[in-house]
Amino acid sequence: MQMYIFFLLGLLAYPSKMLPIIPKALIIVLFLTFIARPLVITLFLKPFGCSFKQIGVVSWAGLRGASSIVFSITATVNATNLENDIFHIVFFIVLISISMQGSLLPLVSKKLNMIDETSDVRKTFTDYQQENDIQFIRVKVHENQKWCNKMLRDLDIPPQTLIVTVERGGKTIIPNGTTTIEANDVLILTAPPFKDTKNMEMSEIEISHDHDWIDKPIKELNLPTDTLIVMIKRHGLTIVPNGDTIVQLNDVLVLETIEVLV
């Protein structure tokens, strides 16, 4: 949508009308950049304990063009004659903000010592999952599970699977073979992604008042040998079930069925 808005801006703007509005637009740019925006950002961020260096970087980040362009278009389509060419003034302000503040943001961040040279936050697990043939899995370890109180090297982990981080008490640990898994640890595992097959079908069953499965544990359900309940959608939550999971009213069960090829 932002691409569409900027494209629309280009269709509506007249370069010939830019020169007359430059003095007024420059005054507004200077006021926004050095007075209004720093003041507002300080009022918003200082109560949360942000330093003036952090406030400086956020203040210099500049305007976001899309919303201001929409407001200016709304103003100009009104039948009322305006004393100033608001549309082209906003157009000029957005261009200056993008070219000046956007281009100088790395330099300003460096001058304010707000760049962490030891950290690289440009990519996350999600980025690599989207770009590469890999899948990340989140597993919480409970006290009665067999992985609890065992070292990583003693765990029976499937082939081509790696525990990449351990989240414990609000901290993130990079594990090694001697790392001991504790109760309530959250493990992030990486593994090759699932490749769908043509003979596998997924279906949903919604549990109503008269359904035979209601209030029964999954292990007591009379399921065919080629069918497995792989997920339960309950009140907006997704549950990975086991044999002791109780089927409740309004649950949506996601079933996997293998089609036998003859």
Of 191, 209, 229, the residue that ends a domain is: 191
Q: Quick check: 205 and 252 in contact, CB under 8 A?
A: yes
Q: pLDDT (tens digit, 9 = 90+) per residue, 226-262?
A: 889 989 999 888 888 988 999 999 999 999 887 654 4
Q: Is the pTM of this model over 0.75?
A: no
In the chain, the number of structural domains is 3
Domain closes at, from 70, 86, 111: 111
Domain for residue 252, yes or no?
yes
pLDDT at 124: 58
φ, ψ (nearest 5 deg) of residue 45: -95, -30
**DSSP letters of 175-238?**
--TTPBP-TT-EEEEEEPPPPP-TTEEEEEEE--TT-TTTT-BGGGS---TTEEEEEEEETTEE
8 and 95, same domain (yes or no): yes
The verdict on 67 and 15 lying in the same domain is yes
- At 137, which helix (H) or strand (E)? strand 135-140
Structural domain boundaries enclosing 185: 125-191
**223 plus 183 within the same structural domain:** no
Quickly count: other Cβ atoms within 10 Å of residue 101's Cβ: 19
Domain ends where: 151, 174, 191? Answer: 191
- Report the range of poorest mean pLDDT among 106-110, 124-128, 171-175: 124-128
- Same-domain status, 78 and 131: no
Asked whether residue 102 falls in the same domain as residue 134, the answer is no
118 part of a folded domain: no
Q: Which of 69-78, 152-161, 225-234 has the lowest mean pLDDT?
A: 69-78
Residue 170: give its domain's CATH number: 3.30.70.1450
CA 40 to chain centre: 26
In a domain, 49, yes or no: yes
For residue 256, the cross-strand partners are 202, 228
pLDDT digits (tens, 9 = 90+) for 47-60: 998 899 999 998 88
> Quick one: tokens of 189?
């595992």
Q: Do 156 and 78 sit in the same domain of this protein?
A: no
